[in-house]
Amino acid sequence: MIDNLIDGKQIAGQVTEEVQKRVEALKAKGITPGLAVVLVGNNPASQTYVNNKTKTCERLGMYSILIQLDEGVSEAELLNQVELLNNDEKIHGILVQLPLPKQIDEDRVIAKISPFKDVDGFHPESVGKMMIGQQTFLPCTPFGILKLLEYSNIDVAGKHAVIIGRSNIVGKPMGQLLLQKDATVTYCHSKTTDLHAFTKQADILVVATGRTKMIDASYVKEGAVVIDVGINRDENNKLCGDVDFDSVKEVASKITPVPGGVGPMTIAMLMENTCLAAENTSKN
């Protein structure tokens, strides 16, 4: 094992242990946190992720249901399904696994989820609250990255964080959350010219390019912390990230592996958000 590794699997284990205690406390009050996962179609990667989500719920003593809909389901049917879940008292959190097939408008589906049950943190109300620093559900992947940094004692304040990627579910919220922790944030993306010039300045480099092993040591400043959000398959069908791990581990002070880095944290934070959603109902 290399000594500059950030072990996401181990940190996710610590986070879920804490969640489990909160679940037990809720159950003592007669509330079992419940998560509904909606999967449309049969994308094998999505199937793996949703199965991991429901299995983790089970392990923590939470209630979960998996609703599987055909690839060709209409948007109206999916919206109707979300509405049923919005009104189901056993369900505290709802997530619709992304991506969705082309005939369905993701934004409309996300907007249909009750903001009280938006454990993915993708609803426009949750995003707005996050932007202005109000308490809300935070999107699980960037929330998980903040936890990885915190549990690894990496102070973000005053650091230059460079994010490569501007998706709504990772890049954009990641920058906001790091800004709220007093980092100086630069966003880079596919149209950035001279990417090296920016990444070489990064104290913390978050890579979400969607391009297999794109970032090698030439992009990284000596001693930087490198967080790899990518999940790809290499030429041997082995899981790998957007970072060329073997090259970058030689220059980074800390680095997340793939698998076993950011991915497990995404699921751990979903559990935390679902628990929070259930706790919120007990306050009403």
Ligand X SMILES: Nc1nc2c(c(=O)[nH]1)N[C@@H](CN(C=O)c1ccc(C(=O)N[C@@H](CCC(=O)O)C(=O)O)cc1)CN2
The contact set with ligand X (CB under 6 A) reads 48-49, 52, 95-98, 120, 140-141, 169, 231, 239, 258-260, 263-264, 266-267
First to last CA, the chain: 47
- The answer to whether 161 and 175 have CB atoms below 8 angstroms apart is yes
DSSP for 226-276, written as a single string: EEE---EE-TTS-EE-SB-HHHHTTT-SEE--SSSSHHHHHHHHHHHHHHH
In whole angstroms, the minimum distance from the beta carbon of 99 to ligand X comes to 7
Whole-angstrom Cα distance, residue 110 to residue 95? Answer: 9
Q: How far apart are CA 25 and CA 48, in angstroms?
A: 30
Q: Which residues are annotated as a binding site for NADP(+)?
A: 165-167, 231
Q: Is 194 a catalytic residue?
A: no
Least CB distance to ligand X at residue 52 (A): 6
Shortest gap between Cβ of 5 and ligand X (angstroms)? 13
Q: Measured from the CB atom, is 34 or 264 closer to ligand X? A: 264
Active-site annotation holds for 105: no
From 81, 112, 120, 203, active-site residue: 120
Residues annotated within a binding site? 165-167, 231
* 99 upstream amide cis, omega within 30 of 0: yes
Active site residue 242: no
The residue (of 138 and 159) whose beta carbon lies closer to ligand X is: 138
Q: Is the CB of 126 or the CB of 266 nearer to ligand X?
A: 266
CA distance 93 to 86: 9
Cα 15 to its chain centre, rounded Å, is 14
CB of 139 to ligand X, least distance (A): 7
Cβ-proximal residue to ligand X, closest one = 263
Q: Which residues are catalytic?
A: 53, 97, 120
